[in-house]
Structure 1
Amino acid sequence: MPSASSVAPDSGRPVPAGLWRDGDFRSLWLGQTVSQLGEHISLLVFPLFAVLALGAGAGQLGALRAVGQAPVLLFALPAGAWVDGRRTRTVMVLADAGRALVLGAAAVAGLLGRLGLPALLVVAFAVGALSVLFDVAYQASLVRMVDRGQLVRGNSALEGSRSAAQTGGPALGGVLVSLLSAPAAVASGALFFVLSFLSVRRIRRPEPVPERSAGSPGTGRRILAGLRLVTGDSSLRTVCLASAAFQFSFAAVTTVYLLFLPRELHLSGTAVGLSLAATGPGALLGSLLAARLPGRFGHGVVLVLAAAVGDGAFLCVPALHGSAAVTLPVLLAVGFVFGAGGQLVNVTVMAVRQAVTPDGMQGRAAATITFVGMGSAPLGSLAGGVLAQECGLRTGLLVAAAAMLLSPALMAASPLARLGRELPVGTGRAAGPSSA
């Protein structure tokens, strides 16, 4: 086993003897954890406040969620090109500081009684834009920090921390909205971004950032290089298409779901938060399984089955009737299964993507897939609002939940389903830094 000071021969990166014995990895893990917690608090607080306090309808809620997701379409591709030429630590620190300031201003506006729907739209857009930068940077940061042989373990740890955020964020956000106020909930999100800022600042390891010379390609050419990489590799192309199908349908499901729970099932804000938080323990289990199952059964089998089971769990929700004592346990079970399957897919997909991507293009590969995948989410949110208005909450939720199964179907019909126990090496590996 290599020592803590050994160096990966192909990358020049230090390879720690154990991830958790490396202070920089711990700082990245902690910063990402509390940042995700702040983000998940915000993702619940804004829609709940709009529905419960402002009386927002299905169309308005869909618009609010779409505005928060629109920055992916606008900024993901340039963010990837920008991150590839800069230290990820700096990008993450700036994104955290920006989100803390925006949410702090929103909390003050709430205290002054000016946190209306227009203000929520502005805040949601700003937080979404800064989150794009943070998410692209932290995905590229891990590849610069550890050897490729540790990618699955590193991603499992980072995605496990996100599962903790999925547990605590919605639960805490729901409680704060129900017991205190929206400004208090927004202020708590700002506090977590401050904590992330302080943690990420502690990372001291130099990063192998490619040098930019006078003849280096401009941003447009760098973005095109990322697009060519993703479209030219069968694994990355399938991940991109399956992600788009999932994010579109899941955004539609979430929009209808956030209306269905309080209005059709008559759940309180706390109960809504708990039902959403149930994905967290499931995601934690999924992160643990992701460190073992792909190496035992094959990456392709795990991807397809985990996606089919996790996404299919939502199909039973439209049939629910009765009091919270009856519906809440079922919703908790659905969230747990969805979280476990989704996280197993997330960790496995990220490891596959990082393994087939050259070091100098990690940011652009992540940004391209995010652009195509998450870029479909605003359209999905709007579609969910239309479904709820035109078809009713139950029928709209059933249609949106059924559409989620398109993602595992795409993976099952592609070469991605035939991936074995070892991580693949894609054609993009040959591109190297010259493509930067």
Structure 2
Amino acid sequence: MPSSSSAASDSVRPAPSSLWRDSDFRRIWVGQTASQLGEHTTLVVLPLFAVLTLNADAGQLGALRAVGQAPILLLSLFVGAWVDRCRTRTVMVLTDAGRALALGALAVAGLLSGLGLSALYAVAFVVGALSVFFDMAYQASLVRLVNRNQLVQGNSALEGSRSAAQIGGPALGGTLVSVLSAPIAVASSALLFTLSFLSIRGMGRREALPENPQDSQRPPRIWRRIHEGLRFVARDTSLRTVCLASAAFNLSFAAVMTVYLLFLPRDLHLSGTAVGLALAATGPGALLGSLLAARLPSRFGYGAVLVSAAALGDAVFLCVPALHGSSALTVPALIGVNFVFGTFSQLVNVTVMAVRQAVTPDGMQGRVAATINFVGMGLTPLGSLLGGVLAESWGTRTSLLVTAAGMVLSPTLMALSPLARLGRTLPATPETSP
């Protein structure tokens, strides 16, 4: 993509020193925080309701998680190609409204007649599908909103908002399910998505869409645009490695979380509040990881930070199967594990996103994000189902050990690739699109 497109986009971006003084960036930050808080609350509320109230077995819990993750596999590539030609603010506003309405309807239905697994499956799929649209849009929006030298700072801020959501979401969801009811917990998520809708809707800057001269006369068909994104990622060594490492991580992590959400209440006999508290520890860790991501890569090198942080964050889950019973040390140990995981996984997330955005032209941002999302997270439904099958066949403790060991494959792939040799500065952006 020629530089003229970037220049046009830069004309509406804030000056490098004014990122936090820019009202539109603040609005998207507030909206992202509320949206992520709603999402993390929902991710805990629906499985806990299924396990604690509906007595869902391992297979049913795995199916519930898989249904919510299936849109990543089904929609990511199409959404990414579409977002590259749309204003991201509009996409984010509509998806927030849709998630608020879906969860609000579920809350009302639950208060009137009680919730069932079929309703949970339906809402999980709808919210998951809308989340794909929101995630693709917000990742592309940052590149259109800030300057290139603000990408790490901007990503650190947005990922920090996700950290805040990870602090409050699981604890809020677990507490509301335990103390009040699942419908009240679902309603709280609907209100958070409404807050995000109102914040992002108030953005005033007119977004400049990237232009591709090849598209000036006749926009290419959707399949051609998808193919361009796939080809661009496949040809770039760094992006290709990110895809493979992300796929290995997300397959194993989805299996881990399915077993984990069974292991905590059933094997360790923890209440919903204790489960939420343990999971919420990921949030403070992720907040620390976001702060570290703004400093460590430029000091020690992007490659060294990626590999070491991924190894430390993924390997810590190997400690969980050693826990027994609901002793006084169990919850603090779980908090420690989740804090370490949150810190280093967030450090990896922010650093990887900055590298991806740096090596991708503006007009390809949506498609590249969608391709990585498709390959990297497309296996999560399979991982969730696999976790349920393993838990039924081998038991939760053995299954947790095996699936946690699988997570270590991700840093291994990065360590064996040129990604590990990235220095203290971001790679250059190509001058043209494929």
Query: How far did residue 408 of structure 1 move?
Result: 0.3
In the TM superposition, what are the counterparts of 1:361-372 in structure 2 within 5 Å? 361-372=364-375
Matched, 1:378 2:384: no
Query: For each residue in 1:134-154, what CA deviation from the matched residue of structure 2 results, as whole angstroms up to 9, or x when unmatched?
Result: 000000000000011100000
In the TM superposition, what are the counterparts of 1:190-205 in structure 2 within 5 Å? 190-205=190-205
Instruction: Determine which of 250, 254, 257 is the counterpart of 2:253.
Output: 250
Structure-1 residue corresponding to 2:102: 102
Query: For each residue in 1:242-270, what CA deviation from the matched residue of structure 2 results, as whole angstroms up to 9, or x when unmatched?
Result: 11111110000000000000000000000
* Long gaps (5+) in structure 1: 1-6
Partners of 1:10 and 1:423 in 2: how far apart? 20
SS in structure 2 at match of 1:47? helix
In the alignment, residue 15 of structure 1 is paired with which amino acid?
Answer: P
Structure-2 residue corresponding to 1:412: 415
SS in structure 1 at match of 2:220? coil
Partners of 1:430 and 1:229 in 2: how far apart? 13
Query: How far did residue 400 of structure 1 move?
Result: 0.5
Matched, 1:401 2:404: yes
Structure-2 residue corresponding to 1:356: 359
Query: How far did residue 431 of structure 1 move?
Result: 2.8
Q: Which moved more, 1:207-216 or 1:415-424?
A: 207-216
Structure-1 residue corresponding to 2:3: none
In the TM superposition, what are the counterparts of 1:5-16 in structure 2 within 5 Å? 11-16=10-15
Query: Are the counterparts in 1 of residues 8 and 208 from structure 2 also a CA contact under 8 Å?
Result: no
Structure-1 residue corresponding to 2:26: 26
Structure-1 residue corresponding to 2:210: 210
Matched, 1:112 2:115: no
Matched, 1:331 2:334: yes
Partners of 2:344 and 2:232 in 1: how far apart? 28
Partners of 1:311 and 1:134 in 2: how far apart? 27
Query: How far did residue 210 of structure 1 move?
Result: 3.5
Q: TM-score, normalised by structure 1?
A: 0.96
Partners of 1:10 and 1:50 in 2: how far apart? 46
Q: Which moved more, 1:8-17 or 1:286-295?
A: 8-17
Partners of 1:175 and 1:9 in 2: how far apart? 48
In the alignment, residue 46 of structure 2 is paired with which amino acid?
Answer: F
Partners of 2:8 and 2:177 in 1: how far apart? 52
Number of aligned positions between the proteins = 425
Query: Are the counterparts in 1 of residues 9 and 144 from structure 2 also a CA contact under 8 Å?
Result: no
SS in structure 2 at match of 1:111? helix
Query: Are the counterparts in 1 of residues 38 and 169 from structure 2 also a CA contact under 8 Å?
Result: yes
Structure-2 residue corresponding to 1:35: 35
Structure-1 residue corresponding to 2:277: 274
Structure-2 residue corresponding to 1:261: 264
Query: How far did residue 214 of structure 1 move?
Result: 4.6
Instruction: Determine which of 288, 291, 294 is the counterpart of 1:291.
Output: 294
Matched, 1:228 2:231: yes
In the alignment, residue 417 of structure 1 is paired with which amino acid?
Answer: A
Q: Which moved more, 1:285-294 or 1:209-218?
A: 209-218
Partners of 1:194 and 1:108 in 2: how far apart? 16
Partners of 1:142 and 1:308 in 2: how far apart? 28
SS in structure 2 at match of 1:168? helix
Partners of 2:55 and 2:26 in 1: how far apart? 42
Structure-2 residue corresponding to 1:172: 172
Query: For each residue in 1:284-338, what CA deviation from the matched residue of structure 2 results, as whole angstroms up to 9, or x when unmatched?
Result: 0000000000000000000000000011110010010132422000000000000
Query: Are the counterparts in 2 of residues 66 and 377 from structure 1 also a CA contact under 8 Å?
Result: yes
Partners of 1:289 and 1:67 in 2: how far apart? 34
Q: Which moved more, 1:250-259 or 1:13-22?
A: 13-22
Structure-1 residue corresponding to 2:132: 132
Structure-2 residue corresponding to 1:50: 50
Structure-2 residue corresponding to 1:4: none
Query: Are the counterparts in 2 of residues 174 and 270 from structure 1 also a CA contact under 8 Å?
Result: yes
Query: How far did residue 14 of structure 1 move?
Result: 2.1
Partners of 1:116 and 1:19 in 2: how far apart? 46
In the alignment, residue 307 of structure 2 is paired with which amino acid?
Answer: V
Query: For each residue in 1:147-170, what CA deviation from the matched residue of structure 2 results, as whole angstroms up to 9, or x when unmatched?
Result: 111000000000000000001000
Query: How far did residue 115 of structure 1 move?
Result: 1.5
Structure-1 residue corresponding to 2:158: 158
Percent of residue pairs identical: 72
Query: How far did residue 10 of structure 1 move?
Result: 7.9
Query: Are the counterparts in 2 of residues 13 and 147 from structure 1 also a CA contact under 8 Å?
Result: no
Partners of 2:111 and 2:133 in 1: how far apart? 29
Query: Are the counterparts in 2 of residues 8 and 14 from structure 1 also a CA contact under 8 Å?
Result: no
Partners of 1:10 and 1:364 in 2: how far apart? 18
SS in structure 2 at match of 1:112? helix
Q: How big is the alpha-carbon RMSD for the aligned residues of Structure 1 and Structure 2?
A: 1.3
In the alignment, residue 380 of structure 1 is paired with which amino acid?
Answer: G
Query: Are the counterparts in 1 of residues 20 and 26 from structure 2 also a CA contact under 8 Å?
Result: yes
Query: For each residue in 1:220-258, what CA deviation from the matched residue of structure 2 results, as whole angstroms up to 9, or x when unmatched?
Result: 101110001110100000001111111110000000000
In the alignment, residue 271 of structure 2 is paired with which amino acid?
Answer: S
SS in structure 1 at match of 2:210? coil
In the alignment, residue 287 of structure 2 is paired with which amino acid?
Answer: L
Q: TM-score, normalised by structure 2?
A: 0.96
SS in structure 1 at match of 2:343? helix
In the alignment, residue 430 of structure 1 is paired with which amino acid?
Answer: E
SS in structure 2 at match of 1:325? coil
In the alignment, residue 375 of structure 1 is paired with which amino acid?
Answer: G
